[in-house]
A and B are shown apart, each in its own frame.
Chain A
Amino acid sequence: MTWKEKLGDRIPAESAREIDTFENQIALKRRDRIDDKVFAETRLRRGAYGQRYDNGQRNDGNGVKMLPFPSNGRTKGPDTVWDAPGMQRIKIPFGGVTPEQMDTLADLAEEYSDGICHITTRQDVQLHFVHLDDTPSLMRRLAAVGITTREACGNTVRNVTACPLAGVCRDETFDVTPYARASMRFLLGHPDAQDFGRKFKVAFSGCRQHACGLVNMHDFGAIAVTRETGGATQRGFEVHVGGGLGAVPHEARLFDPFMAEAEVLPTLQAISRVFARLGEKRNRARARIKFLVAQLGIDEFRRLVQEERRRLAPDARWTAYLDDLSSAAEQPLKSGGPLDGAPAESSFAAWSRSNVYRQRQPGYAVVTVSLPLGDITGDQLRGLADVARRFVGDTVRTTVEQNIVLRWVRGSDLPALHRELDALGLARPGAQSIGDITACPGTDTCKLGIASSRGLAAELEQRVRGRMDALDDAVRSLRIKISGCFNSCGQHHISDLGFYGVSRHVRGRVVPHFQVVLGGQWVENAGAYGLAIGAVPARRIPEVVERITTRFIEDRRPDETFHAFTARIGKRALRGMLQDLMPVPDYETKPDYYRDWGDPREFGIGDMGVGECAGEVVSLTEFDLVGAESQVFEAQLELEAGNAAQADGLAYAAMLQAARGLIKTEFIDIPDDPDRIVAEFRTRFFDTGIFFDRFAGGKFAQYLFRRHARSGPPAGVDAARRSIEEAQLFLEATHACQARLAGAPAPAGAGAVSGSPA
């Protein structure tokens, strides 16, 4: 029995088909029938990401050693060994997750991963040390509970995020949840969002003043606003575009101060089309939309988008969800009730001060489950799902601070909930404080990591939490965010105290350092980006935190924020405070400086690999050709199973998909209509001779034309077999044609077309 058989029709048909296709693509890759680059982007678009050491090498502290995986040279991407463990990213739109989904995530962590679910800084869940061969079963089990991994990585629209308090916040303009959900559904797999040069991130905020959805650092960020029109209140969004962190951070630009709610989805579609058409594709370092916005200028970018918007054919999905906004609202599991003063453990008071937020709705609260470094074990997550079922139902969300919130907790339930969380090891106080540190995976699992962000975070948390009660309130509420490199997955730019990993060569050795980033602003939707003031050896970062926070307490003006304080003091003075921490002593005197936090190996950067954050630039044509390969493969399976008619149909569908892919090189909007595909193919590639093989001429195109024209009874076994053979030859000819068009040498398989039997 397999999971596919067991879950059967519990998996939505479209998801089932997609996962079957991915499984077939894995099988084809095993047979070396898919190019490394294409397969890498294919699996990335299913959320199957690479992980550190997947090039088969690791520095064990004594030198770089080969990891002799039994893969026999098989790879799952450029320089990526098949059997090396990888990371599976799982999209959780706006962080919304149900107890049933939590159970499944817990099961998957235990069975396919290392027993840990990791919450990311974009409300996703990540599982590490996953074998590629396990991913189809993993995806089916997720699909059966309504979760997709589609477009979790790669050059796609990533997880759509939103404020975890949306709908219950005391300050929000309105609940942005339905808009985030609709955007996710609309953009997932949308044809206009498949040809980007890089990823595209969308976020929704309910207000301007809080951190909320961190709109300022997103490719597309929307803040809920209203206006009065004709005596009625109209909902809309203040839309910002072109924000992003990374090595070259850009603050988002105002695109529209008031975009009517009905315009959000069509505008996202128009932006996608402009980004796909004009965005950089070759230079990966400048391919995010922020560079396009900067290059064109916001006014020209806006003009192009508006022009594109006018050309779009109407789509009912743009506004369908608006008719039903109120029914999409969460329903509390229990009636509300105030905290009744019932006896509680002594630890309850501290926990409730930091981890409980009073909702807008009287009698209810949001409880933050603070997760150390975003990690939760399978047992804990299952236990939390059980708690959620009994206390709040389906109203659970992940947060960009790598925590989980339970919404709609009845006030009078808080002491009991605290006891239950405590029994699970999940009642850690200090949520959203200086002791609740955000960190990306860094050198633990990321190929790009330079220094150990998690090692440093664990060390700082331990130190800070040891004296949390003694901290001044102004310090307690600060944020620390740490990235393992300059790419800012830990969001160090928008933190009060930010750090990112770098290295320095000192007397012939490599020493882990962190750049100290000050001036960032978490609130006001990531309102300001900090700048690095200097690199300090990793070993001395705890002293950096101590000195700066102490100075803040000593020199702070009444009600002065940390952001204002650092601006007033100035970076020169702040750097001066750290100057004596920067020198690196001799290895013989202080060998600890030459090791990273939590890692006893002598530090080195030889383990770094080529990251997959950027995905691979793969054209729509290449994707269609891979899809066509999968359909031919599926046709063979159907034929083996005695289903001749289905096999014949799949072979025909494969030819259509290949032809459509080729047409997209000239006509990107070619509809998925067989008559139109064949007509366009004939006009553009047959009549012009472009498709013609050097020896066989237009013979392979005739296979498509004949099959398209065929009618009559369903194909028998012989006819189906012939269809598959012809589809395969047509596919090879399409590969060859595509290679000629791209000016590249014809792929090895395509060369065989010339000598193939008719």
Chain B
Amino acid sequence: MNAAASAAPDATAVQRIALKLFLDGPAALAPRDVIPVFHRWIQTRAVDGLLIDVADYTHLPTGPLALLVGHEGRYVLDRSGDRLGLQYVRTQPLDGPLETRLRTVAAMLLRAARRLEKDAAPAGPVRFRGDEIDWIVNDRLLAPNKPDTFLAVRPAFESFLDALSGGAPWTLTPRSESGTRFGIHARGPAGVPLETLAGRLDSAAGF
């Protein structure tokens, strides 16, 4: 089959999606301190998924620093864009439409972030911000970093954010850097703790 004959990519079909929450006061968390936390999470099965191993890149100044690698996805302490935060990167397919998949990934991320707030406190309290979230798509085939992709996925992403914030407005900024993966930075209402976000997702899902 040649390229001309093939169907146009459907950006809403993306499966390799990642969400990132940002640390509030990132100095409170030394990346190296997260390595033993991730190992303990494997021992106690503290977070969702089949957890395989921990990868340590804390010697790097940027990017993924500490990874809890699982079969379905990975939890990543990430300093891309010079901002420290926790990502959940989905690698295996999920059921349902894009909005549902985003909610599932967000729920897993929120559980892990809340757990990290409790478990990684040797240098002081660790808190994640509830008013910012990054969505990154690891699929340049279905979701090239172009305005069309933004238009295609925006309704699903906004619907997901509505569920997260209880309808409060978010400001969306698509990633614009050339060559990077498609992604959207979303800024929403301030001062919302993670528990509230998680609770809203649960209630929107009918739990």
Specify which chain A residues have a CB less than 8 angstroms from the CB of B69 in the assembled complex: 85, 114, 129
Q: Which among A52, A373, A379 has the greatest number of chain B C-beta atoms within 10 A? A: A379
- One of A5, A128, A377 near B63 (C-beta < 8 A): A377
Report chain A residues within 8 Å CB of B55: 114, 128-129, 444-445
- B16's nearest neighbour on chain A, judged by CB, is A111
| Distance of A403 from chain B, by nearest CB (Å) | 14
Do B139 and A116 touch across chains, with their CB atoms under 8 A apart?
A: no
For B76, the chain A residues whose CB sits under 8 A away are: 115
Q: Give chain B residues whose Cβ lies under 8 Å from the Cβ of A52.
A: 53
| A382 interface neighbour in B9, B139, B141, B180, Cβ under 8 Å | B180
- Minimum CB–CB distance from A449 to chain B (whole Å) comes to 12
Contacts of B59 in A (CB 8 A): 372-373, 375, 458, 461-462
Overall SS of chain A's interface? mixed
How does the 8 Å CB contact mask read for B84-114 relative to A, with 1 for contact and 0 for none? 0000000100000000000000000000000
- Which residues in B have their C-beta under 8 angstroms from that of A461? 59
Cβ 8 A contact of A377, one of B1, B64, B74, B181: B64
User: A70 near B: Cβ within 8 Å?
Assistant: yes
Q: Which B residues are CB-close (under 8 A) to A462? A: 59
Chain A positions 365 through 401: 1 when the CB is less than 8 Å from some CB of chain B, otherwise 0: 0000000110101111010001000000000000000
A114-B64 in contact (CB<8A):
yes
Interface residues of A in 32-80 (CB under 8 A from B): 52-53, 58, 60-62, 67-70
In the bound complex, residues from chain A placing their C-beta under 8 Å from that of B61 are 425
| Inter-chain contacts of A444 with B (CB < 8 A) | 55-56
B39→A61 contact, CB < 8 A:
yes
Q: Does A455 contact B (CB under 8 A)?
A: yes
* Residue count of chain A within 8 Å CB distance of chain B: 52
A114 vs B138: C-alpha distance when bound (angstroms): 11
* B124 at interface, CB cutoff 8 A: no
Closest Cβ of chain B: how far from A371's Cβ, in Å? 9
Give the complex CA separation of A2 and B52 in angstroms: 29
Given A53-B53, A375-B60, A107 and B35 contact (CB-CB distance below 8 Å): no
A108, closest chain B residue (CB): B140
Nearest-CB residue, chain B, relative to A597? B56
Q: Is the CB of B39 within 8 A of A600?
A: yes
37-95 of chain B: CB within 8 A of chain A? 39, 42-43, 50, 52-53, 55-64, 67, 69, 71, 74, 76, 80, 91
A114 to B75, CA, bound (A): 11
Spell out B's residues near A (CB within 8 Å): 1-3, 6-9, 16, 35-36, 39, 42-43, 50, 52-53, 55-64, 67, 69, 71, 74, 76, 80, 91, 138-142, 179-181
* Cβ contacts A to B, 7 pairs, < 8 Å: A1-B7, A6-B6, A69-B50, A70-B50, A106-B179, A461-B59, A601-B39
Question: Contacts A5-B1, A8-B2, A60-B43 given; 20 further ones with Cβ under 8 A?
Answer: A1-B7, A5-B6, A58-B53, A60-B39, A60-B42, A61-B39, A67-B50, A111-B16, A111-B181, A114-B64, A114-B69, A115-B64, A116-B63, A129-B69, A372-B59, A377-B80, A382-B179, A386-B179, A599-B35, A601-B39
